[in-house]
Amino acid sequence: MSERNTLIRSLHDLGLAAWFGGSLMGAIGLNGAAHDADGTQSTTDRISSAGWAKWTPVNAAAIGAHLFGGGGLLAANAHRVATQQGVGGSTAAKTVVTAAALAATAYARVLGKKVELASSTDPADAEKAQQHPVDLEKARRQLAYAQWAVPALTGCLVVLNALHGEQQRPTEQIPGIWERVHSTTHLMH
- Whether 170 is in a domain gets the answer yes
- Whether 1 is in a domain gets the answer no
Over the range 134-144, which residues count as b (16 or more CB within 10 Å of their CB) and which as e? eebeebbebbe
Q: How far apart are the first and last CA of the chain?
A: 30
Tens-digit pLDDT profile for residues 74-111: 999 898 888 888 889 999 999 999 999 999 999 999 99
Q: Give residue 178's domain range.
A: 6-188
Query: pTM for this structure?
Result: 0.83
Cα gap 53→113, rounded to integer Å: 8
- Whether 71 is in a domain gets the answer yes
The SS3 call for residue 168 is coil
The SS3 call for residue 176 is helix
- Whether 145 is in a domain gets the answer yes
Cα gap 31→43, rounded to integer Å: 12
- Position 177 pLDDT exceeds 80: no
**pLDDT band of 26, cuts 50, 70, 90:** very high
List of long-range contacts for 154-162, beta carbons under 8 Å, 24+ apart: 154/16, 154/19, 154/20, 154/23, 154/101, 155/20, 155/24, 156/97, 157/16, 157/20, 157/94, 157/97, 157/98, 157/101, 158/16, 158/20, 160/90, 160/93, 160/94, 160/97, 161/12, 161/13, 161/16, 161/94
Pinpoint the alpha helices (H) of the chain.
6-25, 31-36, 41-76, 78-83, 87-119, 123-131, 136-167, 170-188
Tens-digit pLDDT profile for residues 42-82: 899 999 999 999 999 999 999 999 999 999 999 998 988 88
Domain count, the chain: 1
Output DSSP code: residue 79: H
- Whether 157 is in a domain gets the answer yes
CA angle 161, 163, 168 (to 5 degrees): 95
